[in-house]
Structure 1
Amino acid sequence: MQSMLGKAANTDWFGPLVVVIAAVVVIGAIEPTFLSAFNIQVLLSAIAVNLVIALAQMIIIAIGQMNLSVGAIGGLVAIAFAGMMEVWGIPAPLALVLALAIGLAGGLANGFIVAKTGISAFIITLASLSFFKGLNLGITEAQPFYGVPDAVKAFGNTNMIGPIPWLVLPAAIAGLGIWYLLAKLRIGRQILAVGGNPHAAELSGISIFQTTVWAHGLSGLLAALGGVMVVARLQIGQPSIGDDWLILSFAAPVIGGAVLAGGHVSVAGTALGVVVVAIITQSLVLFHIDPFVVQVVLGALILWAVGINRWREVRVERRLRGAS
């Protein structure tokens, strides 16, 4: 039993899990409404959307890069999804496919430029953030699309079972899909290999170009899914969708043990990182604390998580030096 606990304590997800359990117990004892069916539904809806957003960043962190345009892609897809249904009368399923295709194309474009030019992904995605946001505002003229079909609204605001909303379903599929890709599929192993040591990966026959392009493509696709889910949840295609995704997209993977240098990420850890952020946000609302405090707390959490990761790296390095 102790050995199992010791092994669990060394995993990326153990720390966030302890924080989640402690937070639920303490906050639930202080404020009983925290565990009410309605609040659980609200919490799970936020977790579902934020998990997809965090996974969009996590897959880029896995290759040792970053994607500053996650929110801009999600926002462009959100207004495209709502606009296609309102302006052109396109059925929701077809609009969904087209919207996801836009996100995939945006991600692939990011990846192609990064891989082709060798310019830092930070610079390329900063530029594409401005480009995609400009398209968003040019299309909408800063006005929202209201013509979201009732079926889409229902999907974003009704429950499957008890307090579990339908939004949990696409988030769960995305999470399991990314876990399977990284753990079982060749492209997933290549992504982690490139993030861990690009030179060694290239010498072993892995195409850095293709791996980078596909990682960014997956990121764009996940950002697009997040944008569609937000439209369903808000029941409106709002041009500001995605503007506040950036900090969250980094916070959850880092809290979940992702190494910013690349090569190591955890889907389970990222999911628990999302839960930690959602619980903090929700508890601040319940206790009527200034919402701007959330940004301060997220910043502190990122610093804490990065510090813990660095501490682990130092311990491993010392252990390896001692063994040699």
Structure 2
Amino acid sequence: MQTFLGKATDTDWFGPLIVVVIAVAAIGSIEPSFLSSFNVQVLLSAIAVNLVIALAQMIIIALGQMNLSVGAIGGLVAIAFAGMMEVWGLPAPLALILALAIGTAAGLANGIIIARTGISAFIITLASLSFYKGVNLGITEAQPFYGIPEAVKAFGNTNMLGPIPWLVLPAAIAGLFIWYLLAKLRVGRQILAVGGNAHAAELSGISIVETTVWAHGLSGLLAALGGVMVVARLQIGQPSIGDDWLILSFAAPVIGGAVLAGGHVSVAGTALGVVVVAIITQSLVLFHIDPFVVQIVLGVLILWAVGINRWREVRVERRLRRA
């Protein structure tokens, strides 16, 4: 038992899991409505959407880079998805496929420019953030699309089992896929290798260009999925979708143990990081606390997570010295 606990404390998900358990118990005892069926549904819907957003950033963090355009890609895809159904009258499945293709193409464009030019991902994705947002506003003229089919609305606002909404399904599939990709598939291993040490990865025969393009393409696909899910949840194609994704997309992976320098991320840890943020946000609403406090808390959580990661690194270094 002690050995298991000792190993568990060294994992990325243990700290966030303890926070989740304590938070749920404490808030549930103070405010019983927190554990009501309706509130659980709302909480799970938020977690589902935010998990996909966090995974879109996590895959780039694994590469040792960052994607500032995650929200802009998601927002562009959201209005494209809604617009194709309202203006062009496309059926939802076809609009979904085209919308995901747009997001993937946007991510691939980021990756190709970064890989071919050697310019920092920070600069390229900052520029693409402005570009994609400009296209968004140019298409919509800052006006939302309202013609969302009833089937899409139902998917975003009904449950498949008890208080578990349908939105959990695509989020779970995305999480399992990214876990399998990083743990079992060659491209996932290559992303982690490049993030850990790009020079060593290149010497071992890994193509930095191809790996970078793959990672950003996946990030664009996940951001696109997040945008579609938000449209289904809000029942509207709002041009402002994605504007507030940036902090969340970094906070959850970092809380979940991701190393910003690259080479190490955790899907389970990221998922729990998303749960921590969702619980904090929902509890502030229940207790009627001003929304700006959420931003303050997220900043504190990021600093806490980075501190925990550094403490863990120091422990590992000490063990290696003793050995």
Q: TM-score range by the shorter chain?
A: over 0.9
DSSP 3-state at the match of 2:271:
helix
DSSP 3-state at the match of 2:206:
coil
1:49 match: 49
Q: Does 1:107 align with 2:110?
A: no
Matches of 1:196 and 1:318, distance apart in 2: 20
DSSP 3-state at the match of 1:205:
coil
Matches of 1:9 and 1:22, distance apart in 2: 16
1:139 match: 139
Matches of 2:228 and 2:43, distance apart in 1: 18
Aligned AA for 1:288?
A: H
2:314 match: 314
Matches of 1:126 and 1:137, distance apart in 2: 17
1:5 match: 5
Matches of 1:320 and 1:158, distance apart in 2: 52
1:118 match: 118
2:265 match: 265
DSSP 3-state at the match of 2:48:
helix
- RMSD value, Cα: 0.6
Aligned AA for 1:13?
A: W
2:298 match: 298
Alignment of 1:229-244 (within 5 A): 229-244=229-244
1:188 match: 188
Question: What TM-score do the two structures reach when normalised by structure 1?
Answer: 0.99
Matches of 2:306 and 2:110, distance apart in 1: 26
Alignment of 1:75-114 (within 5 A): 75-114=75-114
Deviation string 1:31-86 (CA, Å, 9 cap, x unpaired) is 00000000000000000000000000000000100000000000000000000000
Aligned structure 1 segments of 4 or more residues deviating by more than 3 angstroms: none
| Aligned sequence identity (%) | 89
DSSP 3-state at the match of 1:160:
strand
Question: What TM-score do the two structures reach when normalised by structure 2?
Answer: 0.99
Aligned AA for 2:112?
A: F
Q: Return 5+ residue gaps in structure 2 as ranges.
A: none
Q: Return 5+ residue gaps in structure 1 as ranges.
A: none
1:202 match: 202
Aligned AA for 1:287?
A: F
1:172 match: 172
- 1:319 CA displacement: 2.5
DSSP 3-state at the match of 1:145:
coil
Aligned length: 323
Aligned AA for 1:303?
A: L
Matches of 1:56 and 1:104, distance apart in 2: 11
Matches of 1:237 and 1:36, distance apart in 2: 29
Matches of 1:9 and 1:320, distance apart in 2: 18
DSSP 3-state at the match of 2:66:
coil
Matches of 1:21 and 1:203, distance apart in 2: 44
Deviation string 1:225-246 (CA, Å, 9 cap, x unpaired) is 0000000000000000000000
DSSP 3-state at the match of 2:201:
helix
Report the more deviating stretch, 314-323 or 34-43.
Answer: 314-323
- 1:2 CA displacement: 1.4
1:36 match: 36
